[in-house]
Amino acid sequence: MVTIYDIARETGYSAPTISKALNGTGGLSVKTRDKILKAAEALGYKPNMAARSLTTKKSYLVGVIFEDADMQRGFEHPLFGGIMNTIRTEMENSGYDLIFLSRSLLAKKRSYLEHCHHRNVDAVMIINPLSVDEDLMELANSDIPCVSINYLIPGVPSVVTANVDAGYRAGKYFIEKNHKKIGYISGSFTEFNLAAKERLEGLKKAISEAGVEFSENNIEYCSKWTRESGYEAMKRLYQKNPEITAVFIANDNMAFGAMEYLESINVKMPEQVSIIGFDDEQASEFITPSLTTFKQNRITIGKLSSEMLMNLLVGIPVHDCVRVKAELVERKSVRDL
C-alpha cells in the first residue's frame, strides 16, 4: 500500500507537507500542492479515511435529506435524480462520501439533528423536503453547514430554479404565437416551496405586458403533482373554459394527464389546444405531439449546491439563494394561431 512516505520520497517534500497537501490544509502554494497530488495519483495512493478523520477531526461524510413523498418517484425524477448524480460526483472529487438521513433508524424515531450526530456528518444537503417543520428548523439552526435544493429554508443557503423567469418565458412564447386564451395548471405550493406560485407569477407578468386578459378562472390547482391530477385538472379547466387555446402546466407528469383528457374528448393538440410542460421528462420527446417543456439545469444546480456546501465547510460566505435558469425545449405541442 502506498503511504505518504512513498510520496515524500518521490517528490522530495517532507511527510508533514505531503499530509497538508492531501488534506487540503496548511499554506502550501498551488504549484507545490498540484505536484504532490499528481505524484499521489501516479503512485496509486489511496487515503486511509479512518486515519484522515482522526487527523482532521472530520468524518468526510455529507448527509443527504431527500423527501419526495408527494410524487413517490425518488431518483427516477428527471430533476432530483440528475441532481443527486452530480452531487455524488462533486462530493467524491472533494474527498467526501454521501450518506442518506431519515427520521427513523432501525424503527427508532430520531430527529434529523440526532441522526446527523449519530452518523457524525460534516454537512447536510437538503433536497426537496416535505415541509419546513420543527425538526428541519432544529437542523437549520444548528452548527452543521446545510444547503437546500428546490426549497427555501430560513437561514439555509438555497439553490433553486428561476421559476418566475420560466413562467414569464412560457407566457411570452404563447403570446408570440398569438394565443390570447391561456390557462395554467399546477400542483400545490407552500410558503417555502414556491415553484407553482412563481411560475404563475411569471406567466401572469408576460400576459399582462401583452394586454391580454387573465383571471383566476383560468387556473386549476391539484393536491398532487401527478398524471392523474393533471387529467382531472384539465377536465375542470376545459369544462369551464372551452375557449382556452393554450395551457402552461407546471410539470410534465401533469401535462401527460392533461393531454390524455383532451385526447379522450377528441380535442386535437396542438390544433385546438397548445401545451407547455415543465421538467423535460424522458417521455416528453416520444408522446404525440412531442411536448414543448422546460428543462431544469440539474447539472448546474448540483454543482452550485456542492460548491456552496464546500465553501461553508471552510468558512467562505455564500449567497442566500441562487436561481438557475431553465432551458425551453421546443417540440410540437404549441402552434401558431
**What residues make up the domain containing 177?**
163-295
Instruction: Tell me the C-alpha distance between 275 and 101, whole Å.
Output: 38
Answer yes or no: do 104 and 147 share one domain: yes
Answer yes or no: do 85 and 136 share one domain: yes
Task: Classify residue 259: in a domain, yes or no.
Answer: yes
DSSP state of 334: -
Q: Considering the entire predicted model, what is its pTM?
A: 0.79
The pLDDT, as a whole number, for residue 75 is 67
Answer yes or no: do 167 and 262 share one domain: yes
Cell of 20: 497538508
The pLDDT, as a whole number, for residue 135 is 86
Task: Classify residue 216: in a domain, yes or no.
Answer: yes
The pLDDT, as a whole number, for residue 313 is 86
Task: Classify residue 80: in a domain, yes or no.
Answer: yes
Answer yes or no: do 274 and 129 share one domain: no
* Sign of the Cα pseudo-torsion (210, 211, 213, 216, in order): positive
Answer yes or no: do 291 and 167 share one domain: yes
Answer yes or no: do 198 and 156 share one domain: no
Q: What is the CATH number of the domain that holds 238?
A: 3.40.50.2300
Task: Classify residue 27: in a domain, yes or no.
Answer: yes
Question: What are the CA-CA distances from residue 112 to residues 67, 101, 105, 115, 140 (Å)?
Answer: 12, 7, 10, 5, 10
- Amino acid, single-letter form, for residue 96: Y
Our separate counts of H helices and E strands in the chain read 12, 14
Task: Classify residue 223: in a domain, yes or no.
Answer: yes
The pLDDT, as a whole number, for residue 130 is 73
Task: Classify residue 220: in a domain, yes or no.
Answer: yes
Answer yes or no: do 142 and 243 share one domain: no
| Average pLDDT per block of 10 residues along the chain, 337 residues long | 84 83 76 89 76 62 79 67 90 86 66 84 88 85 92 91 97 97 88 80 97 94 89 96 96 96 97 96 94 96 93 88 96 95
Q: What is the CATH number of the domain that holds 10?
A: 1.10.260.40
Answer yes or no: do 168 and 291 share one domain: yes
Task: Classify residue 336: in a domain, yes or no.
Answer: no
Cell of 288: 404525440
Answer yes or no: do 49 and 91 share one domain: no
- Of the candidates 38, 56, 74, which is a domain's last residue? 56
Answer yes or no: do 138 and 31 share one domain: no
Into how many domains does the chain fold?
3
Task: Classify residue 52: in a domain, yes or no.
Answer: yes
Answer yes or no: do 11 and 103 share one domain: no
- Of the candidates 12, 32, 56, which is a domain's last residue? 56
Contact by Cβ (8 Å): 254, 184: no
Instruction: Tell me the C-alpha distance between 57 and 174, whole Å.
Output: 56
Answer yes or no: do 148 and 230 share one domain: no
The pLDDT, as a whole number, for residue 70 is 52
The pLDDT, as a whole number, for residue 26 is 65
